[in-house]
Amino acid sequence: MTDAAVSPFDFLERTARSALAGWNRFWFTAVDPATLGLVRIFGGAMLLYTHLVWTLDLAAFFGPNSWVSPYAARQAYVGSAEMPGDLYGNVSFVWSVFYLADTMEAVWAIHIVALAVFALLTLGLFTRAAAILGWVLAVSYVHRTPGALFGLDQINTMLAFALMIGPSGACYSLDSWLRRRKAAAQGTSLPACIPSVGANLAVRLVQLHMCVIYMYAGFGKLVGEAWWNGTGLWGAVANLEYQSLDATWLAWWPMLGAFMSHVTVYWEIYYPVLIWPRATRPWMLLVAIPLHLGIAMFMGMITFGLAMLIGNLAFVRPETTRAVLGWLFRRSARPPATLAQPDHHRSLHVG
């Protein structure tokens, strides 16, 4: 056994080198940006729809006399600067372009720009600029309307951040189509997509964020009794204000309700672990679909349920994205010829 002769320093050096190599593989492997492109289309569409709905109540939520007034919005965030042990005094680092808009004309101007930006992001036109502006605007809306927010907004801003970090317009975008058309006119050809480290970084950030979200969602459910005694799901379906489809028939199927409650908690808690190995990832994603569609259909949070599924898309391998889209649109599912095929799972040494 030669390992017995390895000194502690050698062991530490070897471990450090291995960790560094793992870090490099995890974050800095160039990948096919297909999955990021798909996340952009769905995430952009969700941002567009979410903000389009604000149009119906723009004055009521963003005007000088809004439900949450400009003063109340700022005060809501000052409170978070007053937690114990704070190092920065009573200073809030929350910002919004709406803080500069004190007339409805200015609010409307920002809103119209925002809708245009989210539309460009969805289509993938001027994508890089649209993605940066998209994140700035998405955060601006959120910081102006504390009190009217829920999980959807958290996922929206998470997705907008990732789309800004990576080349989200490299695939399935008008930018990409225009680039190739221009090259063809010049007698050259470009690959559909070029492998990119930025695409990997963006997807990795969404993946890790989703793990954190599910982990705390699961741990949070362990606090009370409801998710232990199997009535957690009942608490959700028996809430009339959330209800969009009547699921009170679950009262006559208490074992089913308890089973679904327990599955929800176990699935959320183990998501950060079981989503990575090759063997369990498809099963974890498979459970995500009925879970989030159930929230969408029965609890009236269609947007939130779909946004969570968009977040889960980050775990779909680019090859799978291409294969599915190729099958759907009857185009070649073959990845770009220049693409080396990194293996997410193997690079993590877990699959």
Which residues make Cβ contacts (< 8 Å) with residue 209, sequence separation at least 6?
Answer: 158, 162, 311
Helix axes 197-220, 8-28, angle to 10 degrees: 100
**Considering the rule CB under 8 A, would residue 279 count as an interface residue with other proteins?**
no
**Considering the rule CB under 8 A, would residue 92 count as an interface residue with other proteins?**
yes
Q: Which is nearer to other proteins, 118 or 234 (CB)?
A: 234
Task: Give 146-165 as a DSSP string.
Answer: TTS--HHHHHHHHHHHHHHH
Our separate counts of H helices and E strands in the chain read 15, 0
- The CB-of-185 to other proteins minimum distance in angstroms stands at 28
**Considering the rule CB under 8 A, would residue 69 count as an interface residue with other proteins?**
yes
What 8-state DSSP symbol labels residue 317? -
Question: Of 5-13, 154-162, 286-294, 322-330, which segment contacts other proteins by CB under 8 A?
Answer: 154-162
Question: Of 36-44, 167-175, 209-217, 323-331, which segment contacts other proteins by CB under 8 A?
Answer: 209-217
- The CB-of-187 to other proteins minimum distance in angstroms stands at 27
**Considering the rule CB under 8 A, would residue 337 count as an interface residue with other proteins?**
no
- The CB-of-194 to other proteins minimum distance in angstroms stands at 10
Within 214-243, the residues that bind other proteins by CB under 8 A are 216-217, 220-221, 223-224, 226-227, 231-232, 234-236, 238-243
Taking the C-alpha atoms of residue 7 and residue 221, their distance in angstroms, rounded to an integer, is 45
Give the Cβ contact number of residue 125 at 10 Å. 16
Task: Find the DSSP H helices in 124-193.
Answer: 127-144, 151-165, 174-185
- The CB-of-280 to other proteins minimum distance in angstroms stands at 19
Within 129-148, the residues that bind other proteins by CB under 8 A are 139, 142-143, 145-148
**Considering the rule CB under 8 A, would residue 262 count as an interface residue with other proteins?**
no
